[in-house]
């Protein structure tokens, strides 16, 4: 910008350039907004709360209860002896229902590891009666109470309802299936069986109604190795 | 009783007492907490159920049946998360160990797939042809699950316990620096201002790898007991 050249004898008058006001106003407004937001968030934070972490620390349940009675060391040893006696001797089976693996042990020795199938965890509703079935493989310790060659499956109601059929009357020949369970069956309480399958490609998946399915070779090994009364640990 | 028999019995009693004292001296005296742990596990092992044992000191979680360790999981971290004002003290339910806590709701308890046939048809006799090509198939019923849309369980989840605490299974230690806590507190305050009362249960965070978290997701079920105590993994 060029300044005007004053005429000789006249004072120099410099008119300052007109300052723009809006950037300042904008800055001021932003500052005010930030202040309000900060104050509001501080107020909200004061009104609310959040999670804070600290290392796990718990009081002693015995210190909290002065009348609490504790067993004697001798009683503790008796309990430990009982626990030790519960350890499986001889052949026993574990079934990992998450990874679908069945293992046969003799003491600490692993005799066989097999891919199996376990329960889906699905729930089936009967549209007529409202009954429902949960297709879980039960967890915990279960004994082998029976062993059969060429087991016959007495199909329960859910086997028909699941396929959309009305269940035949009890004792009907339609209820008996001598193919689906394979060549061997090891029976646990409540109708849960370790048995074979026609659907071998599904081994390793949770697809059953609660039973444990095995391939033919593994099933034969388990049938021949695991005696009646052996314990099965499902977890 | 003859004098020789009496001498023999005295000698036997002395021998047994000496042996017992010697055996007792061989191992350090047990604390009341250790004795309580043995007592509680003895009670759990009476039944054939699967139970869990959490040892906070060793950062170990055991899957056990009948006192037998079926599988042991090493925890990458164990923390207590309690809701508290940004500047103030936390309010949390009491937490005392050794104790047996019970799961009241597992993470998978509510996300089971429910199937139900629309209607049932008579079972066809041998040689009898069906009126239709195939029977009506069971219909999956949405169950309001907490899993992802594909039905797979999440590796981060919560397990409700009967002591008002929740197990919070995560795959990395929770990040709760001051800035994150401030943002969470602002959000919480906003929710409260709107009349909502967000639930903030006290949490016991178990830091586990994703695979292990999924494995335990399958296991945490309602009514499953959890024995908790320092030294629980090694007391026996």
Dump pLDDT digits (tens) for A158-205. Answer: 999 998 999 999 989 999 999 999 999 999 999 999 999 999 999 999
**Euclidean distance between CA atoms A37 and B23, whole angstroms:** 71
Rounded mean pLDDT, A220-235: 97
B45 contacts A84 by C-beta, under 8 angstroms: no
Q: Residue B17 — very low, low, confident or very high, per pLDDT cuts 50/70/90?
A: very low
**Euclidean distance between CA atoms A137 and B50, whole angstroms:** 13
For residue B20, pLDDT beyond 50 = no
For residue A23, pLDDT beyond 80 = yes
* Best CA proximity match to B114, nearest among A56, A28, A132, A108: A132
Chain B partners within 8 Å of A93 (Cβ): none
The reported pTM is 0.80
A61 vs B99: CB contact, 8 Å cut-off?
Answer: yes
pLDDT for the residue numbered A167: 92
B122 interface with A at CB cutoff 8 Å: yes
**3-state secondary structure at position A194:** strand
* Best CA proximity match to B228, nearest among B63, B65, B125, B99: B99
Q: Residue A20 — very low, low, confident or very high, per pLDDT cuts 50/70/90?
A: confident
pLDDT for the residue numbered B115: 85
| Residues linked to residue B93 through DSSP beta bridges, in sequence order | none
pLDDT for the residue numbered A160: 93
Question: Could you give the angle at the alpha carbon of B161 between the alpha carbons of A119 and A133, nearest 5°?
Answer: 25
A124 vs B115: CB contact, 8 Å cut-off?
Answer: yes
Among chain A residues, CA nearest to B135: A164
Q: Residue A140 — very low, low, confident or very high, per pLDDT cuts 50/70/90?
A: very high
Q: For A42-158, where are the E strands, in sequence order?
A: 49-55, 59-60, 91-96, 101-106, 109-119, 123-125, 132-134, 140-143, 146-149, 153-154
Instruction: Tell me the nearest-neighbour CA distance from B209 into chain A, angstroms.
Output: 16
Chain A partners within 8 Å of B231 (Cβ): none
Range in B23-32, B55-64, B173-182 with the lowest mean pLDDT: B23-32
In degrees to the nearest 10, what's the CA dihedral of B216, B222, B227, B228? Answer: 70
Cα A11 to Cα A1, A71, B28: the distances in Å are 20, 109, 106
A50 vs B184: CB contact, 8 Å cut-off?
Answer: yes
Q: Taking the alpha carbons of B149, A124, A218, A87 in that order, is the dihedral positive or negative?
A: positive
- Nearest CB among B98, B121, B190 relative to A61 is that of B98
Q: What is the pLDDT of residues A83-136, one digit of tens each?
A: 888 888 899 999 999 999 999 999 989 999 999 999 999 999 988 888 999 999
B120 vs A128: CB contact, 8 Å cut-off?
Answer: yes
Distant-in-sequence, close-in-space partners of B153: CB < 8 Å, separation ≥ 6: B107, B108, B111, B147, B214, B217, B218
pLDDT for the residue numbered B178: 85
What is the length of chain B? Answer: 236
Q: Residue B226 — very low, low, confident or very high, per pLDDT cuts 50/70/90?
A: very high
pLDDT for the residue numbered A26: 93
Chain A partners within 8 Å of B32 (Cβ): 62, 70
A101 contacts A188 by C-beta, under 8 angstroms: no
* Best CA proximity match to B75, nearest among B63, B57, B59, B62: B59
Q: What is the pLDDT of residues B78-137, one digit of tens each?
A: 999 999 887 777 778 888 889 999 999 988 777 778 888 888 888 887 656 555 555 556
Interface test with chain B among A46, A49, A83, by most B beta carbons within 10 Å: A49
């Amino acid at each position: 910008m060029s300044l005007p050249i004053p005429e000789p004898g006249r004072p120099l008058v410099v008119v300052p350039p007109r300052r723009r006001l809006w950037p300042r106003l904008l800055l001021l407004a932003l500052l005010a907004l930030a202040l309000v937001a900060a104050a509001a968030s501080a107020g909200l934070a004061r009104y609310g709360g959040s999670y804070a972490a600290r290392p796990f620390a718990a009081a002693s349940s015995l210190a909290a209860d002065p009348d609490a009675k504790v067993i004697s060391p001798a009683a503790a040893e008796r309990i430990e002896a009982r626990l030790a006696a519960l350890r499986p001797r001889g052949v026993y089976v574990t079934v990992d229902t998450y990874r679908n693996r069945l293992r046969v042990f003799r003491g600490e020795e692993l005799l066989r590891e097999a891919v199996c199938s376990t329960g889906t965890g699905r729930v089936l509703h009967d549209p007529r009666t409202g009954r429902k079935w949960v297709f879980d493989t039960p967890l915990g310790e279960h004994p082998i109470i029976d062993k059969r060659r060429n087991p016959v499956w007495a199909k329960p109601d859910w086997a028909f309802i699941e396929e959309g059929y009305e269940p035949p009357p009890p004792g009907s020949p339609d209820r008996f299936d001598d193919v689906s369970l394979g060549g061997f069956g090891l029976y646990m309480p409540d109708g849960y069986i370790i048995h074979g399958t026609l659907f071998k490609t599904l081994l390793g998946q949770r697809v059953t109604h609660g039973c444990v399915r095995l391939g033919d070779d593994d099933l034969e090994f388990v049938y021949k190795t695991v005696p009646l009364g052996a314990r099965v640990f499902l977890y | 009783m003859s004098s020789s028999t009496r001498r023999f019995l005295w000698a036997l009693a002395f021998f047994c007492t000496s042996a017992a004292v010697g055996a007792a001296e061989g191992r350090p005296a047990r604390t009341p907490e250790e004795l309580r742990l043995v007592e509680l596990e003895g009670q759990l092992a009476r039944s054939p159920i699967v139970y869990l044992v959490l040892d906070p000191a060793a950062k170990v979680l055991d899957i056990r049946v009948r006192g037998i360790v079926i599988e042991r999981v090493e925890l990458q971290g164990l923390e207590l998360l309690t809701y508290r004002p940004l500047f103030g003290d936390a309010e949390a339910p009491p937490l005392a160990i050794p104790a047996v806590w019970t799961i009241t709701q597992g993470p998978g308890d509510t996300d089971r797939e429910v199937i139900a046939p629309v209607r049932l048809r008579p079972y066809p006799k041998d040689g009898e042809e069906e009126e239709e090509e195939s029977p009506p198939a069971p219909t999956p019923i949405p169950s309001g699950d907490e899993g992802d849309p594909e039905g797979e369980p999440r590796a981060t989840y919560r397990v409700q316990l009967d002591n008002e605490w929740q197990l919070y299974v995560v795959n990395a230690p929770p990040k709760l620096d001051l800035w994150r806590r401030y943002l969470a507190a602002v959000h919480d305050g906003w929710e409260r201002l709107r009349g909502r009362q967000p639930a903030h249960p006290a949490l016991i965070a178990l830091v586990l790898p994703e695979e292990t978290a999924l494995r335990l997701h399958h296991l945490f079920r309602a009514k499953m007991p959890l024995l908790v105590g320092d030294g629980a993994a090694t007391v026996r």
